[in-house]
C-alpha cells in the first residue's frame, strides 16, 4: 500500500484556508467518473455515509481549535493499493471501494491519529472521503 502526503497547491487546494476548493475538486472528479460510467463513492466519515459536500466543508473548516491563520487545517493523503492488493479487495469497483473504506476507517485513521503523539484517537479526526485511492 503506497501512502503519501502531497504538498498543498494553489491550483487544487491550500490547506491553510478553507477545504472548499479541495472538496469542489473531488466532486468534479466524481462527476467525470460518473459520466464515464465508473463507480464513485460519496463523502464519508468514521460513522456516516453519503455526507453532503457542504457539511464536510463546514465540519473540516470549523474544526480548527487554536490554529493560526497560516497553520494547516487539513491534509490531503493519497492511499493507493497496489494492483495485487486491489484484486484481493474484491472483483468489482464497488467491492474494492467498500474494502478501502473499511481500511481507512478501521486501520488508517486510527494509526494516523495515534502518530500525532498527542493522545488523539480516530474520533478526533473528521474522517475521509470514499475514493479510488486519492483522498482523506
- For the cut 90, the answer to whether the pLDDT of residue 5 exceeds it is no
Instruction: Give yes or no for residue 88 having a pLDDT over 90.
Output: yes
SS3 per residue for 28-85: HHHHHHHHCCCCCCCEEECCCCCECHHHHHHHHHHCCCCCCCCCCCCCCCEEECCHHH
pLDDT at 50: 86
pTM of the entire structure?
0.75
List pLDDT tens digits, range 16-70.
Answer: 888 898 888 888 888 888 888 887 888 888 888 888 999 989 988 888 878 888 8
How is the chain split into domains, by residue range?
2-129
Amino acid at each position: 500500500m503506497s501512502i503519501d502526503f502531497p504538498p498543498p497547491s494553489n491550483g487544487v487546494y491550500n490547506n491553510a484556508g478553507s477545504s472548499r476548493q479541495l472538496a469542489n475538486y473531488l466532486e468534479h472528479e466524481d462527476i467525470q467518473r460518473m459520466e464515464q460510467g465508473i463507480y464513485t463513492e460519496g463523502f464519508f466519515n468514521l460513522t456516516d455515509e453519503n455526507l453532503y459536500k457542504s457539511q464536510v466543508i463546514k465540519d473540516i473548516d470549523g474544526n480548527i481549535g487554536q490554529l493560526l491563520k497560516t497553520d494547516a487545517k487539513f491534509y490531503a493523503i493519497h492511499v493507493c493499493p497496489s494492483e495485487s492488493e486491489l484484486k484481493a479487495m474484491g472483483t468489482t469497483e464497488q467491492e474494492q471501494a467498500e474494502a478501502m473504506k473499511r481500511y481507512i476507517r478501521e486501520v488508517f485513521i486510527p494509526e494516523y491519529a495515534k502518530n500525532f503523539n498527542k493522545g488523539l484517537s480516530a474520533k478526533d479526526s473528521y474522517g475521509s472521503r470514499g475514493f479510488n485511492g486519492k483522498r482523506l
